[in-house]
Amino acid sequence: MLEVLILAAIALFVLSRLYVALGRDDGPPDGRQRSAPGEMREAQPADTPGEAAHGAGEPAFTGPGATGLETIHQADSAFNPTEFLRGARSAYEMIVQAFADGDRETLRPLLDADVYQAWDDALKQREANGAEPWQLLRVKNAEIEDAELDGNTARVTVRYRAELGDGERTRSSDESWTFKRDVTASDPNWLLDDVESAA
């Protein structure tokens, strides 16, 4: 019984870190499109790669989307790109795996209505055809590509390069996923707003 309680506590912790959902969709991930991250709250040391100090413990932002990232941080002081990216990578892995498994119960709370509908339609088509799903083998790279604050809505785009396999073949995936969040909301979770195949 004690082991069950410990495992349940670990599962709840993991889910709370990854519960960072999705938004609007142009197509599901059999063509490798669409998904989301976890709560990104903890401040990082000023010498964290990609950040520099400009004040006591105050991060500065560099690289793609630097201006947007700093604007988001000004609106929500808890926002930290390093933590965001860590959560976004974990969420990508979790959501792509859930789609491969046809796990609608996991997908539903992570996707908004439009995205969930698109993914559900893709699952139905795959199930009707009896096709083997593409499994995530590894994430080669994940990096923030762009960021902006539109009113109260923060959007951060992450580019993922990954390797997928169906048991016989492997292929590369190169996608940009945009996550959004209302910075005035008490809910810290992000929603997947858009997915595009990178050129």
Please calculate the CA angle 61-150-66 and round it to the nearest 5 degrees: 15
| Mean pLDDT of the 158-162 span | 96
User: What is the pLDDT of the chain when averaged over all its residues?
Assistant: 78
Q: Are 66 and 52 in contact (CB under 8 A)?
A: no
130 vs 19: which has the higher pLDDT: 130
Would you give the DSSP letter of residue 158?
Answer: E
Tokens for 13, please give them: 């912790």
Phi, psi of 182 (to 5 degrees): -80, 115
pLDDT band with cut points at 50, 70 and 90 for residue 13: very low
Cα 188 vs. chain centroid, distance in angstroms?
A: 13
User: What integer pLDDT is reported at residue 28 of this predicted model?
Assistant: 63
CATH number at residue 72: 3.10.450.240
> CA-to-CA distance for 163 and 96, rounded, in angstroms?
12
pLDDT tens across 59-117, in order? 668 888 999 999 999 999 999 999 999 999 998 999 899 999 999 998 887 777 788 88
pLDDT higher than threshold 50 for residue 141: yes
Q: Are 33 and 27 in contact (CB under 8 A)?
A: yes
Structural domain count, the chain: 1
Would you give the DSSP letter of residue 108?
Answer: G
User: What integer pLDDT is reported at residue 189 of this predicted model?
Assistant: 86
> CA-to-CA distance for 120 and 80, rounded, in angstroms?
32
- Sole residue written with tokens 């997908």: 107
Judged by average pLDDT, the poorest of 33-42, 68-77, 101-110, 125-134 is 33-42
Domain that residue 170 falls in: 2-197
1 vs 44: which has the higher pLDDT: 1
Helix (H) or strand (E) holding 170: strand 170-182
Tokens for 60, please give them: 């500065």
pLDDT higher than threshold 70 for residue 36: no
| Intra-chain end-to-end CA distance of the chain, in Å | 52
pLDDT band with cut points at 50, 70 and 90 for residue 124: very high
Q: What percent of the chain has pLDDT over 90?
A: 50
| Number of other residues whose CB lies within 10 A of the CB of residue 100 | 18
Q: Are 170 and 92 in contact (CB under 8 A)?
A: no
